[in-house]
Amino acid sequence: MRMNKLALTMMLLAGATGAVAAEQAGDPAAQTVTQSGPAAISSPDSGAQRQTASHPADVPVVSAAPAAQSSSPSPETTPVISTSVTAAPPSGNGVAPAVQNAEASGIAATQSSGSAPQKAADAAALPSQTESRASDSAAPAAVASSATEKPETPPATADADTPSASAPTPSVTAAPFTPAQEARIGEVAKAYLLQHPQLLIEIDQKLQKMQYDNQIKAMTAAAIRHQNALLNDQTIPAIGPADASVAVIEFFDYQCSVCARQAPIIQSLMKSHPQIRFIFKEWPIFGYRWKPSFQAAETGLTIWQQKGADAYLKYHDALFTTGHIEGALTQKDIARAASVAGAAKIKARSQAMLETLSGTDELAKNLGFQGTPGIVVMPVSGATAENVTVFPGGATESMLQDALNKAQGQAR
């Protein structure tokens, strides 16, 4: 029984030593300090003195290996304790490693190999010594074995600025609203607009501005495409030098109220810009309602063809001077204006006049005009989107002047 306990003690001590060795092999940062020297043991009953190494965390890991036995024992030989001290670094989670206090008991060589009484005394002392070593070292050895089998790895600390590779990717597609949510959103929007109705006016103005800008772009592009029909139709009245660099083209009806207000502005501009060519496109849009519109347009084209530019200009100004617009123009007004122009007698309607008026109507629609007046200011040659200006309606003299400057390539 005593030999079995001694063997058990030696096995446990060997296991503890093997665990420490495995831990050192797996952790390069482990530090091993070996202390050897004579132990202060006077007899086997007194027990081996314990030695403990100090760790920065004040919790060392100490394992003891069995003392080496001298192959040639002598009476002066004393047991030598070889203590292996392993200082393990603190674990990453702040918990200090377990303490292993395993003591090695070397069986000292007897002073005399032939002393039976001494052997008996030594044998009698072994059971208590072995039982004491087993009770002291069994638990630390078990802890060391457990630590070797399942090493405690500190948790990895992820960089706050670096997303984890396994982190889920947030969805960028918002979930659709439920019917109840959509209904609620509509109620909130309606209530807000009722409390701030001026927003509707701002929205409407913004929308109109966008639509107007798009319309102007489209009409400008159309004017460039149809610049030959705008500038070079010989059946259309044109006032000004033939070699003018810039032209002002107006689509008008004599019974149009806006055209009547535009007429004096055109007259003033013609006086201040004699170098500009002014082209008058007779477009009787009210002819289907008031026949004098057609009659006035046909008479004007006839005077242009028969009497020339000066006579036509007198006729044009005389009709607008009457102030008879919106259905008030009469046949007598037309005859009186023709007389002022020196064309008392005019020819009856001809097919050529109808074709000219039809061509003007088609051109106006191709340009995008939906009513009178319609004004285009453009260079006679080299028209581009940067030097062509379209006014789908009336324009002040200042506006027309800016358009002329742009057509001439000047900055005001």
Evaluate whether 297 touches 312 at the Cβ level (below 8 Å).
no
Q: What is the pLDDT of residue 348?
A: 56
The residue whose two tokens read 């530019």 is: 309
Percent of the chain whose predicted confidence (pLDDT) is above 90: 49
d(CA 294, CA 233) in angstroms, rounded, equals 20
Q: How many CA atoms lie within 13 A of 275 on its CB side?
A: 5
- Angle, helices 397-407 vs 257-272, to 10°: value is 50
| Antiparallel, parallel or unpaired: β 374-379 and 389-391 | antiparallel
Prediction pTM value: 0.55
Segment 176-227, tens digit of pLDDT? 899 999 999 999 999 999 999 999 999 999 999 998 899 999 999 999 999 9
d(CA 366, CA 114) in angstroms, rounded, equals 136
Does residue 107 surpass a pLDDT of 80? no
Evaluate whether 41 touches 48 at the Cβ level (below 8 Å).
yes
Return the SS3 of 305.
Answer: helix
d(CA 186, CA 263) in angstroms, rounded, equals 51
Evaluate whether 327 touches 289 at the Cβ level (below 8 Å).
yes
| Ordered structural domains, the chain, with CATH | 2-69+77-149 (no CATH), 210-407 (3.40.30.10)
- Two tokens, residue 95: 């918990």
d(CA 5, CA 382) in angstroms, rounded, equals 117
Element (DSSP H or E) covering residue 407: helix 397-407
- Two tokens, residue 106: 């070397």
Segment 355-395, tens digit of pLDDT? 999 999 999 999 999 999 999 999 999 999 999 999 998 89
CB atoms within 10 A of CB 328: 12
- Two tokens, residue 214: 């798009």
Evaluate whether 372 touches 349 at the Cβ level (below 8 Å).
no
Does residue 65 surpass a pLDDT of 70? no
Give the residue from 33, 28, 25, 13 showing the smallest Cα distance to 100. Answer: 13
Q: What is the pLDDT of residue 210?
A: 92
Amino acid at 99: V
Residues with Cβ within 8 Å of residue 334, at least 6 apart in sequence: 292, 295, 296, 299, 319
